[in-house]
Amino acid sequence: MSLDQIAGRFAYNEDHEAFRQTVRSFLAKEGVPNSDQWEKDRLVPKSFWQKAGEVGMLCPTVPEEYGGLGLDFGYNAIVDEEMAYSGVPAGFSLQSDIVAGYMEHYGSEEQKKEWLPKMVSGDVITAIAMTEPGTGSDLQSIRTTARKDGNHYVINGSKTYITNGQNTDLTLVVCKTDPDAQPAYKGMSIILVESDREGFSKGRKLDKIGQDAADTSELFFEDVRVPITNCLGEEGMGFIYLMSQLPQERLSIAVSTHASSQKAFDDTVAFVKDRKAFKGVVFDFQNTKFVLADLKAKLQVGWAHLDWAIARHLKGELTNEEGAAAKLWHTDLQWEVMDKCLQLHGGAGYMNEYPIAKMWRGARVSRIYGGTNEIMKEVISRKL
């Protein structure tokens, strides 16, 4: 089975599906054959980003006046689905679904003209630096500061678990521009930091349980001077900006995790129909069929829910609570799918040479990033 064989998709039109074929062909040619090497290298080369930019896979929502295609989020979702299903590990969703949105909505005209065309082409790779060594989901407790000095900010602090951290050319750094502000969120701003700024350094590429090729790093800021014009939007509005873009970020995670769940399921069906056991195949056992039937039903429900959520988001109606619920449910389901599919592989599932092992390891972080699933329940409960 492939993603276009899933019945009842109603979030996409014919133009979306034509774009899907372009994305799928590109990944089959340029991504899948290189994925194992990138896992060994623990990094996806910048050249792959530029090739993706050439076929329109990066930041499809960016308006044409800034070098983009001016399309809707459905095109981003297609890239997310195809990337996750194919297992190609590049951090495109961070750039296309998160950073581009901040830049489009809050960037100055000068910032948009400078950075968006390069993000679309893949000549610039971006990151957003929120998490700190002592601060995860509680963003109001960050300690990185951006102090005004004349017409510059001077940034000091450190960030960790930063996606695209080694490759980044431009980082959106969440800072305290007014450490004494009460409540604390009113003192937070987003500052653009170019990677060639003096005092900015990239630390370790972090050694993770899974997603080895995914670029996750430490970043350090020691008296980094940037002009005040590098503030994204208004000073003191950083926390508000971050909260307003969360529904799309969490929907993006839900889309990717569900596509990876479908891939694990499809691979497992093929495996158990081929694996010999007791003069038959593993698929012949009632337990195997019942486990797979249960997962198929949940995957079917999940695709319908995602189409509903994507359709609502395209109309600007997806709420923060709905985005949190999508992230919560689909990532929880992903873990159930991965664990049960690995179990059906038997001992082979514990061997890294089988794709299910890599998928299982890579899935564990989904319930943590983008806000832990415990935080998602907190968000949802506020509107009960």
Q: What is the pLDDT of residue 212?
A: 84
Does this model's pTM top 0.85? yes
As annotated, the active-site residues are 249
- Say if 3-124 and 128-236 have the same CATH topology: no
Domain boundaries, the chain: 3-124, 128-236, 245-381
Confidence at residue 4, expressed as pLDDT on a 0 to 100 scale: 63
What is the distance between the alpha carbons of residues 9 and 308, in angstroms, rounded to a whole number? 10
How many other C-beta atoms lie within 10 A of the C-beta of residue 211?
A: 20
Rg of the chain, C-alpha, whole Å: 21
What is the rounded average pLDDT for all residues in the chain?
93
Q: Quick: pLDDT tens for 54-72.
A: 999 999 999 999 999 999 9
> By three-state DSSP, how is residue 374 classified?
helix
Predicted pLDDT of residue 80: 97
pLDDT tens-digit readout, 310-367 = 999 999 999 999 999 999 999 999 999 999 999 999 999 999 999 999 999 999 999 9
pLDDT digits (tens, 9 = 90+) for 83-108: 999 999 888 999 999 999 999 999 99
In this predicted model, what pLDDT tens digit does every residue of 271-308 receive, in sequence order? 999 998 888 899 999 999 999 999 999 999 999 999 99
Tokens of 76: 């981003």
Looking at residue 9, its pLDDT comes to: 81
Contact 244, 228 (CB under 8 A): no
Residue 145's pLDDT band, with cuts at 50, 70 and 90, is: very high
Superfamily in which the 128-236 domain is placed by CATH? Butyryl-CoA Dehydrogenase, subunit A, domain 2 (2.40.110.10)
CATH for the stretch 3-124: 1.10.540.10
Look at residue 323 in the predicted model and tell me its pLDDT. 96
Please tell me which of 13-17, 85-89, 182-186, 195-199 the model is most confident about, judged by mean pLDDT.
195-199
Provide the pLDDT for residue 38: 93
Burial class of residue 363, CB neighbours in 10 A (0-12, 13-18, 19+) = buried
> What mean pLDDT do residues 14-43 have?
93
Flag whether pLDDT at 239 surpasses 80: yes
Query: What local confidence, expressed as pLDDT, does residue 201 receive?
Result: 96
Closest by Cα among 341, 354, 326 to 258: 326
Determine the average pLDDT of the residues in 189-213: 92
Considering the segment(s) 245-381 as one domain, its CATH architecture is Up-down Bundle (1.20)
Contact in structure between 324 and 27 (CB atoms under 8 Å): no
Determine how β-strand 145-149 pairs with β-strand 280-281: unpaired
